[in-house]
Homo-oligomer: A and B are copies of this chain.
Amino acid sequence: MTTVLIVDDQPLQRYGFHLLLDSVPETDVVGEAGHGAEAVRKTAELRPDVVLMDVRMPGMDGIEATRCIVAAGGRSHVLVLTTFDLDEYVHAALRAGASGFLLKDARPEELLAGIRAVAVGDAVIAPALTRRLLEEYARYVPSHRTDAAEDPRLTSLTDREREILVAVGKGWTNGEIAARFVLSESTVKTHVGRVLAKIGARDRIQAVIFAYDHGLARPTAD
């Protein structure tokens, strides 16, 4: 049995979901909320398996409520529902910690499957959105552990050289690397030179690019 909390500012909408979920034996609606603050409170109180969350609500919206619920660290998973498939909503919801994102025009069985999935800790995304998400994903997470690991240029590096490459990827100068690794600048130069030769880069800039493309360097606040 999966316990569900329905959050939507429109009573009629809540009623519709309530009817749908009551029509199947596996879900049990344990409460409703009409705005974000109430959703956060009732989640803490009722501890439902799944929170069915509308995005657009007066006052605290669904995204913010999701963030609060996730931050509270309970066992409830949030499944966000919306009428509009705006990318910003999707991004914001997922970043807020939502376990799923479905459109309100989803077919009933899709919604039920989604509730089932997030209840056990899985995640679901509306197919129409998944496509765009994957395109971005493919653009930004290009090569990890797939072709990158096979790249002979990477595997030919020694452990030390890989450390140096990572440091170069952070934008450190030879002097900085020497200081942080407690080495002489000459040694760093030797290492860098060997790294450049092995990965086929003509200067450290290409090495930085190489590091990013192969997942050795990551966006940091460094």
Point out residues on A near B: beta carbons under 8 Å. Answer: 87-88, 91-92, 94-95, 99, 107, 109-110, 113-114, 117-118, 121-125, 127-128, 130-131, 133-134, 136-146, 169-171, 203-206, 208-209, 212-213, 217-219
Q: How many copies does the complex hold?
A: 2
In the bound complex, do residue A122 and residue B113 qualify as a contact, i.e. CB atoms below 8 Å apart? no
Q: How far is the CA of A93 from the CA of B87 in the complex (A)?
A: 24
Residues of chain B within 8 A of A95, CB atoms compared: 138, 142, 146
Residues of chain B within 8 A of A144, CB atoms compared: 91, 140
Residues of chain B within 8 A of A219, CB atoms compared: 142-143, 212-213
Q: How far is the CA of A169 from the CA of B141 in the complex (A)?
A: 18
Q: A94-B138, A209-B208 are in contact. Are A113 and B123 (CB under 8 A)?
A: no
Q: How far is the CA of A122 from the CA of B120 in the complex (A)?
A: 25
Residues of chain B within 8 A of A131, CB atoms compared: 99, 121-123
Within the complex, which residue of B122, B123, B134, B203 is in contact with A94, where a contact is CB–CB below 8 Å? B134
In the bound complex, do residue A127 and residue B117 qualify as a contact, i.e. CB atoms below 8 Å apart? yes
In the bound complex, do residue A130 and residue B122 qualify as a contact, i.e. CB atoms below 8 Å apart? yes
